[in-house]
Structure 1
Amino acid sequence: MYRICKEFHFSASHQLAHLPEHHQCARLHGHNYVVAVELAAPELDANGFVRDYHDLAALKSYIDTRFDHRHLNDVLDGPSTAEALARHFFDYCAGQWPETVAVRVSETPRSWAEYRP
């Protein structure tokens, strides 16, 4: 199986108000998010690609217009957790590129959530 991955970056705020008041994520805060989309195929296309990285520009545009410098509680239906974002971006990507196998979302350089069906 051949695999490729591409990262996209954005900054946004969110608040997990359902958590106890003393939990740091219950307060309004922000992250510099990294979204990594992974695509896979058993064979390469005629150009020798799983998918041309340039094709993934649509995800950058989607992130830039809908998520960058936004308050995620106003953008998402449901929780604004990294896990929920990973699923949201997976669903978007799978609808665009059937080779999509996983999406990873990092809130910090040392933590990430992944959705992989």
Structure 2
Amino acid sequence: MLHITKEFHFSASHRLEHLPSDHQCARLHGHNYIIELKLSAAPDQLTEPGFVRDYGDLADFKKWLDHTLDHRHLNDIIEDRNPSAENMAMWIYDQWTERYPELSAVRVSETDKTWAEYRP
């Protein structure tokens, strides 16, 4: 398999439910998020130029990210689940796998040292 990855950035706030009231993530706070989309294809599935997918095709994801998540309160956007990094990775995958069938993983970072990855 061949894999490509592209990184995207946005800032947003959230509050995580089902935590003790003194837990720092139970309070309203924000992050400068990093999202990575990983797309994969077998060598015989590459496009004519030899791409898994043209990176330019991911511009629609960046527009969606800027419009839907950037400078928003994620609890208001991702209403059906707690907006943890893990749940965000699954939610983003579910939103984009039909548009990008090569999508093989979504990584979400809230800090420089932490990542959650969804790889179905």
Aligned-residue sequence identity (percent) comes to 56
- 1:52: which partner in 2? 54
Residues 26-49 of structure 1 show CA distances to partners (whole Å, capped at 9, x for unaligned) of 110000000000000002210110
> How far apart are the structure 2 equivalents of 1:92 and 1:36?
14
> How far apart are the structure 2 equivalents of 1:85 and 1:61?
17
Q: State TM-score, norm by structure 1.
A: 0.97
* 2:98 counterpart SS class: helix
Q: 1:81 aligns with which of 81, 84, 102?
A: 84
Please identify runs of 4+ aligned residues in structure 1 that moved more than 3 A. Answer: none
Residues 55-89 of structure 1 show CA distances to partners (whole Å, capped at 9, x for unaligned) of 01111011100100000011002201001110011
- 1:68: which partner in 2? 70
Q: State TM-score, norm by structure 2.
A: 0.94
Structure 1: gaps of 5 or more residues: none
Asked if 2 retains the 8 angstrom alpha-carbon contact of 1:17 and 1:27, the reply is no
> How far apart are the structure 2 equivalents of 1:41 and 1:22?
45
Structure 2: gaps of 5 or more residues: none
- 1:116: which partner in 2? 119
> How far apart are the structure 2 equivalents of 1:55 and 1:8?
14
- 1:105: which partner in 2? 108
> How far apart are the structure 1 equivalents of 2:95 and 2:21?
33
> How far apart are the structure 2 equivalents of 1:102 and 1:93?
11
* 2:83 counterpart SS class: coil
When the two chains are superposed, the root-mean-square deviation of aligned CA atoms in Å is 0.8
Shift of the alpha carbon at 1:17? 3.4
Asked if 1 retains the 8 angstrom alpha-carbon contact of 2:17 and 2:82, the reply is no
Asked if 2 retains the 8 angstrom alpha-carbon contact of 1:15 and 1:29, the reply is yes
Asked if 2 retains the 8 angstrom alpha-carbon contact of 1:33 and 1:105, the reply is yes
